[in-house]
Amino acid sequence: MNADRVVKEALAAALDAKTPEAVIQDAMAVLFRNLGDRAAHLKHGALDHGQTQFFVAGGFFVTPDRKHQMLVGNTGFPPEQKRLLVPIDGGHPGRVIASGQSILLTDTRNHGAFRQYLKTARMGSAIYAPLIWDGAAHGLIIVAALAGGTLLAPDLAVLDGVAPFVTQNWLAQGGPEWLQGEYQSLLA
């Protein structure tokens, strides 16, 4: 992977986006296609028998009532999880929001506290980067893969490099107001 090229491509996608959700979805689609060891699933024990490697990417944003994080701009998630809500303090996404720090889980089997939110499978490798504004994490971006050992420190460095620009473009597109409307429609 050429990290500089991937970061530039993701930033260009975020800048070209026409809606708040597109800022997330378009930037994350670039990372979805480019991050991770694309041969990790071939290593012995990386997948259970019968499993096929796949990736997911997207953003989770703190809902206006601060009870949940809502999935936004999802790529690779099952369609029925389009507006997945996870508890504000749930699992590793909750840790990112609480700490404002990125997390690398090269192999989730080594992290007993890992919570499965994806309906189709427990992801084996994941990276999370906070979206910071006003001094706090109001969301995060994530890339995950089914096979353990897929996402590594260089992948997290790219995610961390993209996160501040995604945040700026999300805000410029009216992301918080859009989120309010989307969340209210879920509650209706």
H/E run at residue 131: strand 125-133
Task: Return the pLDDT at 113.
Answer: 63
Domain ranges of the chain: 3-38+52-182
Q: What is the pLDDT of residue 181?
A: 95
Q: Within the chain, where are the H helices?
A: 3-16, 20-34, 91-99, 153-172, 175-187
Q: How many Å apart are CA 12 and CA 185, to the nearest integer?
A: 30
> How confident is the model at residue 183, as a pLDDT?
94
CATH of 3-38+52-182, one of 3.40.50.2300, 3.20.20.450, 3.40.50.360, 3.30.450.40: 3.30.450.40
Which residues are CB-contacts of 125 (< 8 A; sequence separation ≥ 6)?
36, 40, 105, 106, 107, 108, 144, 145, 147, 148, 149, 150, 151
Asked if residue 91 lies in contact with residue 99, where contact means CB atoms within 8 angstroms, the answer is no
| pLDDT for the residue numbered 91 | 84
Which pLDDT value is given to residue 117?
57
Give start and end residues of each alpha helix (H) in 88-174: 91-99, 153-172
CB neighbour burial string for 72-84, b if at least 16 within 10 angstroms, e if fewer:
bbbbbbeeebeeb
At 3, give phi and psi (nearest 5°): -60, -45
Amino acid 122: pLDDT: 65
Mean pLDDT in consecutive groups of 10 residues from the start of the chain, 188 residues: 93 96 97 94 85 91 95 87 86 91 86 58 86 94 92 97 96 96 88
